Structure 1
């Protein structure tokens, strides 16, 4: 059943057309009119990246710039390749990404998430397509790294950010998290003390899983992709 679900999520025709039927998902789906695609495994700074780019576009009065994002699906990337749309792939150390995902979603299957991580990034490595791969740590430390790579690779002119822009976006994401999760701060999209405390417990759970196989394989894939695709 899980293999069937992965096959469906990898099909642009099936999965993306299905998402178009959902009003809340329509604006996320890649179409031929999309200007930029930002995708990655969940908890890899997807929200932060998209919010900050959209904030900069609005700040500089750049309209009619559509971003496809947040479906966490290979289908999005295949559609981007078909229409030759600039594409950013976000990646994060699997232990950290899965720990953050477990806290946010209340899921308990570490091994299932490791399989999803492996499937997502293995398929990406097999796609013959000129995407930009950016690591979570680079995005968080200085998103201008991402913007500069995108501008250079795809001949775009996305505006760069200043520190004040980052503060504005973090404040916005905090307000959204407060509205959605109230006092459950461990589920917020931004760093906080509660998340870090819970994360330590979850990290132990991950490291106690079948790390000799799935976790090691995911970590090796993460390092291999960074070495192969991230520009120095």
Structure 2
């Protein structure tokens, strides 16, 4: 299938639209998480830190790095939508949002989920418009910083929210431990079999799939225009990157 084709099956597409509406709502996202028996998705009472971001933006890596350092804290993460962000902002819950350069993030998501590209691009725009509205209530960290200098991330969280965080993993052996935590979480969520296109660490299979998807974006005026909107939003939120 082409990356611009509809999501396979009208039922699946309708299901995603319904879920998107629920998860984008500050008031429905919590009940959605409970209905899915995944309370860790939403910052309910007692949450110490919400970690959010567009998919494929180092969300899993940073979450497990924080768990490596501070396993006693209660985290919420991985709904990838506006509902938890709006709620955390209103309830003044500490919040870390990850952002990645849109071309890389969107291509990575399309490869991982076999989603059509316009859906992925519009998702990026919708998500980071919400982040822009709540910018003063959160710490925003770029993908490149999150994956290369966790000390900056931890210092920003300490300075903004007064969180008492122990040191981040920095040694190669410690980073390897965190990566193994990421792989294990993928194993658990997939029932033991991890597709190299879906695992939350770099793989050759993902690198090999990138050129075809990028060519499709470059060959479509509509997709290229959507990507420009994503890039404008990215540079608005990360002016120093």
- For the aligned pair, the TM-score class normalised by the smaller chain equals 0.7 to 0.9
Instruction: State whether residues 90 and 136 of structure 1, in contact with CA within 8 Å, keep that contact through their aligned partners in structure 2.
Output: yes
**3-state SS of 2:27 partner:** helix
Q: For 1:121 and 1:74, how far apart are their aligned partners in 2?
A: 9
Once the two structures are superposed, the pairs formed by residues 148-227 of structure 1 within 5 Å of their partners are 148-161=155-168, 162-163=170-171, 164-177=173-186, 180=190, 182=193, 184-209=195-220, 210-227=222-239
Instruction: State whether residues 95 and 206 of structure 1, in contact with CA within 8 Å, keep that contact through their aligned partners in structure 2.
Output: no
**3-state SS of 1:133 partner:** strand
211 and 106 in structure 1: CA distance in 2 versus 1, 3 angstrom threshold:
closer
Q: Which position in structure 1 is the counterpart of 2:94?
A: 86
**3-state SS of 2:202 partner:** coil
Q: Which position in structure 1 is the counterpart of 2:3?
A: none
How far residue 6 of structure 1 moved from its aligned partner, in angstroms, is 4.8
Q: For 1:190 and 1:56, how far apart are their aligned partners in 2?
A: 19
Q: Which position in structure 1 is the counterpart of 2:4?
A: none
Give TM-score, length-normalised by structure 2: 0.83
26 and 183 in structure 1: CA distance in 2 versus 1, 3 angstrom threshold:
closer
Aligned length: 222
Question: 215-224 or 204-213: which moved more?
Answer: 204-213
**3-state SS of 2:33 partner:** helix
Instruction: State whether residues 41 and 120 of structure 1, in contact with CA within 8 Å, keep that contact through their aligned partners in structure 2.
Output: yes
Q: Report Cα offsets for 1:122-155 as digits up to 9, x if no partner.
A: 1221236421100111111112221111111111
Instruction: State whether residues 99 and 202 of structure 1, in contact with CA within 8 Å, keep that contact through their aligned partners in structure 2.
Output: yes
Q: Report Cα offsets for 1:29-60 as digits up to 9, x if no partner.
A: 111211101111111111111111111113xx
User: What value does the CA root-mean-square deviation take over the aligned residues?
Assistant: 2.3
Q: Which position in structure 1 is the counterpart of 2:110?
A: 102
**3-state SS of 2:51 partner:** strand
Q: For 1:111 and 1:185, how far apart are their aligned partners in 2?
A: 24
How far residue 176 of structure 1 moved from its aligned partner, in angstroms, is 4.3
Instruction: State whether residues 32 and 83 of structure 1, in contact with CA within 8 Å, keep that contact through their aligned partners in structure 2.
Output: no
Q: For 1:12 and 1:20, how far apart are their aligned partners in 2?
A: 14
174 and 15 in structure 1: CA distance in 2 versus 1, 3 angstrom threshold:
closer
Once the two structures are superposed, the pairs formed by residues 1-232 of structure 1 within 5 Å of their partners are 6-23=20-37, 25-58=38-71, 63=72, 65-107=73-115, 109-127=116-134, 129-161=136-168, 162-163=170-171, 164-177=173-186, 180=190, 182=193, 184-209=195-220, 210-227=222-239
How far residue 19 of structure 1 moved from its aligned partner, in angstroms, is 1.6
169 and 3 in structure 1: CA distance in 2 versus 1, 3 angstrom threshold:
closer
Q: For 2:22 and 2:187, how far apart are their aligned partners in 1?
A: 34
- 5+ residue gaps, structure 1, are none
